[in-house]
């Protein structure tokens, strides 16, 4: 009786698990599970939903082409709710409950850093596709890999254009107070100072408390300093609100320059229309770049979802193909063999080449160029560097009349 009372529930559970396993379709048993952490709700959900669509598009193509040696690849999505604490929690759940074999995704730098910490602690590979704060790949974390460019490269291309073309004397820096915003603002300020461009204002704001009065307070303060260039690091709604109010003030510096993120999305133009005309922005990718499959991906995404994509989608799409390539090459699906396969990655994607390198500064970081786009006649055109530009930049970037 003692044996029954103690062990009978466990025995029943074991028998039931065997029964369920026996009746599980073979294809389900053979699926290779990867956890994808994205902001599907919250302040950055615009980006998360776009990236999920790109991941899904690639996933369907990969599985239709035979998957991983006949086994289906499965992406298990978790919503980080645009919050670092939630990101850490869902990453742990994917590892401990869903038993995924690796992690991917990572949009905001603040959330991505927490997911990376959990991945490293659990010794499971994590492929970042968007989170860009430089510090994430400066921790010496051997299980954390980044496909996209770090934030310091955003400011480098912006400063290069200003130094060679605009040649301003002063800049104002307005940025969202997050790891991404702070990192970009700091690197841009340093790059400007090296180029002899004087920052006359550096003002941050909290996205959660970004109201009209705060926008006007910052813009009036910035306008008073009469900067030649205004550099802005913002997500979607705040980027749109800043441009709407700046145009309403009839404020016409030589150039409004965005630091990527919200300024590259199709929704930015939809929300601002003529107010976005001639606004320039850092971008990490453009469909006209000479990468195999870049335009094809852009066209497929538009046909499939009836909307255009930007570099965020291209990052996710490329990341999915890197994941598939890693599983195909790995000696086994154990974490160390997957990590080794990631370290040995050397492939071309529609987002560009992927090869992870390490030095004294960053570890497991992919090295790619950055670019400048400009909203011209309602389209984000590639305008810098000149060797890949599809349109000539418009300067001075006066607001439309």
The pLDDT of residue 287:
97
More confident residue, 21 or 287: 287
Q: Which of 3-7, 154-158, 176-180, 356-360 has the lowest mean pLDDT?
A: 3-7
Domain with CATH 3.40.50.2300 in the chain: 27-149+290-366, 152-283+371-384
Percentage of the chain with pLDDT > 70? 91
Q: What is the pLDDT of residue 179?
A: 85
Structure letter (DSSP) for residue 289: S
CATH 3.40.1350.10 fits 27-149+290-366, yes or no: no
d(CA 6, CA 281): 66
Query: C-alpha dihedral over 117, 121, 127, 129, to 10 degrees?
Result: -10
Which letter, b or e, does each residue of 282-299 get, where b requires 16 or more Cβ atoms within 10 Å of its Cβ?
A: bbbbbbebebebbeebbe
**Tokens read off for 97:** 């409950």
CATH 3.40.50.2300 fits 152-283+371-384, yes or no: yes
Q: Does residue 250 contact residue 224 with C-beta atoms inside 8 Å?
A: no
Could you read off the pLDDT of 48-91 as tens digits, one per residue?
A: 999 999 999 999 999 999 999 999 999 999 999 999 999 999 99
Confidence check: pLDDT of 13 > 70: no
β-bridge mates for residue 282, sequence order = 372
- Write down the pLDDT at residue 29: 54
Q: What is the DSSP letter of 248?
A: H
Distances (CA, A) of 100 to 10, 66, 192, 226, 273: 25, 20, 44, 53, 43
- For the chain, state the CA radius of gyration: 23
pTM for this model (two decimals): 0.88
pLDDT tier for residue 399 given thresholds of 50, 70 and 90: low
User: What is the spatial distance between Cα 86 and Cα 79, in angstroms, rounded to a whole number?
Assistant: 8
Per-residue pLDDT band for 357 (boundaries 50, 70, 90) equals very high
Among 151, 19, 37, 134, smallest CA distance to 11 is for 19
């Amino acid at each position: 009786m003692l044996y029954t009372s103690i062990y009978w529930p466990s025995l029943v559970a074991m028998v039931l698990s065997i029964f369920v396993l026996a009746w599980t379709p073979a294809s389900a048993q053979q699926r290779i599970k990867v956890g994808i952490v994205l902001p599907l709700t919250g302040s950055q959900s615009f980006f998360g939903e776009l990236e999920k669509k790109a991941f899904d598009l690639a996933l369907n193509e990969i599985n239709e082409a035979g998957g991983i040696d006949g086994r289906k690849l499965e992406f298990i999505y978790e919503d980080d709710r645009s919050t670092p604490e939630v990101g850490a929690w869902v990453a742990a759940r994917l590892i401990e409950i869903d038993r995924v074999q690796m992690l991917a995704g990572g949009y905001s730098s603040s959330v991505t850093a927490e997911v990376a910490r959990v991945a490293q602690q659990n010794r499971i590979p994590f492929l970042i596709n968007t989170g860009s704060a430089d510090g994430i790949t400066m921790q010496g974390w051997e299980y954390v890999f980044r496909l996209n460019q770090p934030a310091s490269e955003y400011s480098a291309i912006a400063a290069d254009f200003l130094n060679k073309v605009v040649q301003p004397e002063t800049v104002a820096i307005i940025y969202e107070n997050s790891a991404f915003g702070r990192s970009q603002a700091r690197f841009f300020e340093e790059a400007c100072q090296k180029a002899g461009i004087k920052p006359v204002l550096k003002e941050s704001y909290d996205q959660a408390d970004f109201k009209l009065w705060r926008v006007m307070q910052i813009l009036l303060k910035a306008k008073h300093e009469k900067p030649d260039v205004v550099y802005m690091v913002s997500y979607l709604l705040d980027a749109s609100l800043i441009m709407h109010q700046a145009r309403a003030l009839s404020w016409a510096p030589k150039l409004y320059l965005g630091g990527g993120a919200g300024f590259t999305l199709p929704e930015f133009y939809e929300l601002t229309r003529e107010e976005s005309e001639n606004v320039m922005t850092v971008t990490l990718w453009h469909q006209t770049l000479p990468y195999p499959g870049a335009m094809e991906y852009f066209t497929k995404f538009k046909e499939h979802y009836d909307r255009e994509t930007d570099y965020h989608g291209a990052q996710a799409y490329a990341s999915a193909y890197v994941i598939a390539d890693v599983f195909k090459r790995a000696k086994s699906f154990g974490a160390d063999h997957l990590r080794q396969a990631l370290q040995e990655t050397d492939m071309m994607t529609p987002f560009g080449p992927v090869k992870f390198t390490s030095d004294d500064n960053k570890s497991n970081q992919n090295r790619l160029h950055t670019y400048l786009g400009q909203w011209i006649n309602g389209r984000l055109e590639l305008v810098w560097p000149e060797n890949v530009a599809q349109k000539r930049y418009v300067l001075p970037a006066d607001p439309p009349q």
